A and B are shown apart, each in its own frame.
Chain A
């Protein structure tokens, strides 16, 4: 029995229903009721996005003027009218040295986005050239048993996104490996629950920063002999420990609240503990486990930025921090670009989790 997979099914499954409405618009399959739906699902969000950009534009212009006025005022009081006039001219000319440092406008952010992409292309070309240049030398070095020479240039924005994703997935996997089994055990046994409960309650609200410091203390000492870079290890472990609590609590709740009917069936059939857990309890608590995992992934992505920043581990967090420290003219708009990228990736991760959840759970939830 093969089910046909249509665009409509796939998009609805992923909680992106508006895409199929959009398709219907272009294929002319909309009647009046559908058109209303279309307005609500496509037009209204688009309008609100435009409104948002408009408000942002106006707001940033106001902030820009305020900052500029302040600069001119300051020049006037500190250095006199001539300096104030020079400052006014300098700002008006758009010279980089005297631009007000404030919230960038949407167009500036868009320019920065394009410049980051250009930068990425340059760096990847550079990297490709480097690899080509060192290919023969590296082959020789490997043949001689030496380590190959690797590219040590600055990572591009895209490289940093990929590194952040790696860190977050490593952290997420760690959370999954720790939290699901412990959650199942706690959910199954009231004794273990009372043994672990204080632990969960105390460590759940601890801030990411403190987790980072704790992990740093431990990992630094464990890896004292290795001279490699431990920042990745520290950051993914911290991310995992920060984010695992939602999964732990949800799994425990899911396991301990399995429908009594199912438990009775398992009892009447005298299922062994292994079968009871894997055939009855785990499948029936999957929806809650996945709700937990979804929260875990979004928390992981959120704390990742802060932890990368602290750990100096390459990634988006470090990118944001370096741009802030850098203080270049377009630093602020690059930070905003990073903010949007972080937001959009977070949204996509959430959708991916929802898709997996829908695929494995027996009761289908609609996306929110």
Chain B
């Protein structure tokens, strides 16, 4: 009885959120992920449909181990697709590429390079025809944007975790991707630094409007950053459980969001889903 209700619910979500194809940036269709194990196949994701519009910021929330990260790394092209497909602007993806920038959970900077060199690593790759000084300017611009104008020539290993993640943000934006994928980028930071980095992220994003998909465990973070919050059901065979539209105006500040009358309504909705 309950399962049929669930089924109609998810069906209605995937059907009602079909956008005109000209608006769609990222399209996941009947996505499936299977890990073979000695005891038989383990199905992580099944029949997962999700469309993300251009210039949209979507956060994904769900219990640990439900397959959020698997889904994101499949979009990034780092994890093979077992069934269905993923397309960016109507074109199926084949492996990883700089059109989908990734900000990883750990900063993943090359510790032997300076912060500038780390950003340049991507910039050189994406703008091979630009002159050296142009590429330097691009890298420096984004490092300034994340507040690291004094740390261009610092080795990544000398930076704090928070500063390293700032470089990670600069690196991802500097390659001007079509889609930005963020895998719990602030999960390893303390709450103060986390707030700071959320502000920096949303400030750059307001300027660049790059379609963003971000995984998070933090309900407040999910609401503050997103246009839509996607809730995933628990695995195995995880799929989209529910989608919540966040109708706050942009640009947002933390204060106005927290004081908004709908804030606790959204928050309750998400927590109800997670505790379900």
Q: Does A17 contact B (CB under 8 A)?
A: no
Interface 9-residue window, one of A31-39, A159-167, A277-285, A301-309:
A277-285
Interface size on B, residues (CB 8 A): 25
Q: Determine which of B95, B97, B110 lies in contact with A284 in the assembled complex, contact meaning CB atoms within 8 Å.
A: B110
Could you tell me the distance in whole angstroms from the C-beta of B138 to the nearest C-beta in chain A?
A: 14
B interface with A by C-beta (< 8 Å):
76-78, 95-98, 100-102, 104, 106, 108, 110-113, 121-122, 125-126, 153, 155, 157, 175
Give the shortest distance, in Å, between A362 (CB) and chain B (any CB).
4
Is B125 within 8 A of A269, CB to CB?
A: yes
Bound complex: CA A284 to CA B157 (Å):
12
Min Cβ gap A60→B in Å is 52
Given A268-B97, A270-B96: A280 in contact with B110 (beta carbons within 8 A) = yes
Contact of A121 with B by CB under 8 A: no
Nearest neighbor of A264 in chain B, beta-carbon distance: B78
Q: Is the CB of B100 within 8 A of A268?
A: yes
Most chain B beta-carbon neighbours within 10 Å: one of A1, A262, A270, A284: A270
Q: Cα distance A279–B122 when bound, in Å? A: 12
Q: In the assembled complex, which residues on chain A have CB atoms less than 8 Å from the CB atom of B112?
A: 283-284, 286, 361-362
Contact of B78 (CB < 8 Å), options: A267, A279, A363: A267
Residue pairs across A and B with Cβ atoms less than 8 A apart, 18 shown, are A1-B153, A259-B108, A261-B106, A264-B78, A264-B108, A265-B102, A265-B121, A267-B96, A268-B77, A268-B96, A268-B100, A275-B125, A279-B110, A283-B112, A284-B110, A284-B112, A362-B111, A362-B112
Closest chain A residue to B155, Cβ basis: A362
Chain A: interface residue count, which band?
A: 20 to 34
Q: Which chain A residues border B110 with CB–CB below 8 Å?
A: 262, 265, 279-280, 283-284
Number of A-B contacts (CB under 8 A): 60
B contact residues around A362 at 8 Å (CB): 111-112, 155, 157
Measured between beta carbons, the chain A residues less than 8 angstroms from B76 are 264, 268
B34 CB → nearest A CB, Å: 21
Query: Is the Cβ of A270 less than 8 Å from the Cβ of B97?
Result: yes
A13 to chain B, nearest CB (A): 16
What separation, in Å, do the CA atoms of A262 and B106 have in the docked complex? 11
A269 to B106, CA, bound (A): 17
Q: Known contacts A265-B108, A270-B125; decide if A363 and B157 are in contact (CB<8 Å).
A: yes
Are the C-beta atoms of B157 and A264 separated by less than 8 Å? Answer: no
Chain B residue at smallest Cβ distance from A275: B125
CA distance A338 to B153 in the complex (A): 49
CA distance in complex: A269, B98 (Å)? 5
A10 in the interface, Cβ–Cβ < 8 Å?
no
Cα–Cα, bound, A271→B101 (Å):
13
Interface 1/0 per residue, A329-368 and B, CB below 8 Å: 0000000000000000000000000000000011100000
A273 to chain B, nearest CB (A): 13
The answer to whether A264 touches B98 (Cβ under 8 A) is no
